[in-house]
Amino acid sequence: MVRKSVFVAGVIAIVAAVGPMAPAIAAGGTGEVPTVSGPVTGGKGSISLAAPGVDLVPGYVGEEFFVEGTATSYKPVGTLGPDGKWAVEPNGTAPFRTRIVVYRPEQASDFNGTAIVEWLNVTAGFESAPDWGNSHTWMAREGVAWVGVSAQVGGVQGGAATVAGVPAGGLKAADPDRYGTLEHPGDEFSYDIFTQVGRAVAGDAALSPLGDLKPKRVIAAGESQSAFRMVTYINAVHPLAKVFDGFLVHSRSESGAGLGDSGEFSLGGAEMPDIAVIRSDNKTPVLTFQTETDLVELGYLPARQKDTKHFRLWEVAGASHADLYTGRLGFTDTGDGSAERALLDPTTADGGPLACAQPVNTLPAFAVLNAAMSHLERWVRDGTPPPKAPRIETADGALVRDEHDNAKGGIRTPSIDVPLATINGERNQGGSFCGLFGRTIAFDDATLAALYPSQQAYVKAFDRATSKAVRAGYLLPKEADHLRAAARDLPIPQG
């Protein structure tokens, strides 16, 4: 049926309405359905994944399954051009055995019918789940099932690159007793492995990884390096497989990942064009979510494209590729507003989980991502597209900034429109992946007093900016309420 990278979090890797249901296999698709076994137990007794635990989500269960079968690789048919209209054909097959992680409502009555399948990020040589990490509170509120896929060899068998102090070796080294039987044939097979998991989640496998939940919609998601692979998947594989009903492309670069086993990071391939957009003839909803860092540091600017009936681009002013929420706060966020309170006060910002040289980005970009997820889910469910968003202003390949050095244009949040600090996605200093964590530079007391003559003046302006973002569709009411409450609790120096 029709149904992104460098990211570090905490001590982990930084790493139109849908028409009639199409046949499960389009011409050229492999049609393979994997064997699913589990739930997996043994070893150290817990799921190995750098992400907020399912224990933060009342009423949810966390399970792990092994998925195995025969995967197909692909090769280009002709030249892959910048328009993304890529033709590929099968190139070879290999056996695989990998794992998936499932966080889902325990009761079928709490399930809203949507499953989000995330391509786990492997940049640091082990796996993280950035989109679950950023949006687990929204998924829990809505009753969404989430599935994380160990699609790449780096997550299963490890790579040389890791965050300082974390051993290399992937799942098999992290818990040999639990994961020792896993085998990954290489990243050239990752696309079909992802497809096959999508089919299993949709209900085509003999054993459903969602238990008695019956999904009506299956949405694919990937952040950073995984977003690069989403680009290639949408442009090259999705026209053949037709498994997913929608796509979240979160923090991509200017092109896609390679089709072959292009190395540990798999950031490109000799066959890939320097620049590539999402193909214009795609009829499946795609929402691309970009930060300031992605536009410049990751080079996305020349790949910008116009919104269409099936494509939306959201660029978030002030956001960075990774931030304090993804690196720390999200790991304990239960959705009670404490994360918003911590993010709003720039004086509490520090170097984050990697002890970067400057305070890292504190924009509540996770709240905007929650809105993006909500709009994408509705787009797939009933055909209502997300609101269009203005692009961040640029000139000569750089972002245009205001008198506070905050970006102009783009999706606005109260942290940028009623600022207490300069918050941006510019390169931070320090080792490891600090360059992706952006910066927060708190205003001094004199600046704050000049901007906001009273606490009441600040709160009034903040409320107005928050309400504007909600009306535009860029914040959901729950996070907006948390931000308003945080603003009321935050003292503003008065000279």
Q: What pLDDT, on the 0 to 100 scale, is given for residue 31?
A: 85
Q: How far apart are CA 4 and CA 121, in angstroms?
A: 7
Which 3 state secondary structure label does DSSP give 267? coil
Average pLDDT taken over every residue of the chain? 91
The neighbouring-strand residues paired with 62 are 103
The C-alpha atoms of residue 425 and residue 409 are separated, in whole angstroms, by: 14
Given this model, what pLDDT does residue 418 score?
A: 98
Query: In angstroms, how far is the first alpha carbon of the chain from the final one?
Result: 63
What is the per-residue pLDDT across 233-250, written as a single tens digit (0 to 9) for each? 999 999 999 999 999 999
**161 versus 383: which is more confidently predicted?**
383
- Token pair belonging to 63: 């399970």
Taking phi first (over 0 means left), then psi (-120 to 50 degrees means alpha), and beta for anything else, what does residue 361 get? beta
**Which residues does 474 contact at the CB level (< 8 Å), separation at least 6?**
314, 368, 371, 387, 389, 411, 412, 413
- Are the beta carbons of 483 and 492 closer than 8 angstroms? no
Where do we find the tokens 């799942």?
A: 171
- What is the pLDDT confidence band of residue 268, given thresholds at 50, 70 and 90? low
Residue 355 CA to residue 340 CA, distance in Å, equals 21
Task: State which amino acid sits at residue 131.
Answer: D
For residues 382-406, give the mean pLDDT.
Answer: 97
Of the pLDDT bands very low, low, confident and very high (cuts 50, 70, 90), residue 19 is very low
Burial of 235 (0-12, 13-18, 19+ CB in 10 A): buried
SS3 label, residue 131: helix
pLDDT, greater one: 495 or 136: 136
Beta bridge partners of 313: 288
What's the token pair of residue 56? 């933060």
pLDDT higher than 60, residue 23:
no
Q: So what's the pLDDT on residue 6?
A: 33
Each residue's pLDDT tens digit, 121-154: 998 778 999 999 999 999 999 999 999 999 999 9
H or E element: which one contains 312? strand 311-316
Q: Is 105 left (phi over 0), alpha (psi -120 to 50) or beta?
A: beta
Do 203 and 217 meet the contact criterion of CB atoms below 8 Å apart? no
The pair of structure tokens assigned to 279 is 């193909």
Quick check: 232 pLDDT over 80? Answer: yes
Over pLDDT 70: what percentage of the chain?
90
pLDDT higher at 348 or 201: 201
Tell me how far apart the alpha carbons of residues 406 and 424 are, in angstroms, rounded to a whole number: 7
What distance in Å separates the CA atoms of residue 14 and residue 434, rounded to the nearest whole number?
9
Which pLDDT tens digit goes with each residue over 460-492? 999 999 999 999 999 999 999 999 999 999 998
DSSP string, 79-110: ---TT----EEEEEEEEEEEEEEEEEESSGGG
**Extents of the domains making up the chain:** 35-284, 326-495
pLDDT for 165: 57
Q: Say if residue 392's pLDDT is above 60.
A: yes
161 pLDDT band (50/70/90 cuts)?
Answer: low
pLDDT of 12 > 50? The answer is no
Over residues 172-184, the pLDDT tens digits come to 999 999 999 999 9
From the CB of residue 258, how many other CB atoms can be counted at a distance below 10 Å? Answer: 21
Between 125 and 495, whose confidence is greater? 125
Residue 427, φ and ψ in degrees, nearest 5: -60, 125
pLDDT of residue 308: 98
Q: What is the pLDDT of residues 450-460, one digit of tens each?
A: 999 999 999 99
Give yes or no for a contact between 301 and 252, defined as CB atoms under 8 angstroms apart.
Answer: no
- Three-point CA angle 159, 160, 166, nearest 5°: 95
- Tokens 């308003």, residue located: 484
**Could you report the per-residue pLDDT of 279-325, keeping only the tens digit for each?**
999 999 999 999 999 999 999 999 999 999 999 999 999 999 999 99
* Stretch 37-52: mean pLDDT: 96
CA–CA gap between residue 257 and residue 229 (Å, rounded):
5
DSSP single-letter state for residue 460: H
- Looking up tokens 């054993």 gives 207
Query: How would residue 158 be classed by pLDDT, with cut points 50, 70 and 90?
Result: confident
- State mean pLDDT over 69-73: 97
Residue at 36: amino acid letter: V
E-strand ranges in 132-188 read 145-149
Q: Tokens for 452, please give them.
A: 């906001």
Lowest-pLDDT choice from 154-168, 197-211, 260-274, 292-306:
260-274
Of the ranges 233-237, 411-415, 428-432, which one carries the lowest mean pLDDT score? 428-432
Query: What is residue 13's predicted lDDT score, i.e. its pLDDT?
Result: 37
pLDDT band at 29 (very low <50, low <70, confident <90, very high): low
- Reference 384, options 469, 287, 467; nearest CA is 287
Task: Determine contact, residues 126/80, Cβ cutoff 8 Å.
Answer: no
- pLDDT greater than 50 at residue 24: no
pLDDT exceeds cutoff 70 at 209: yes
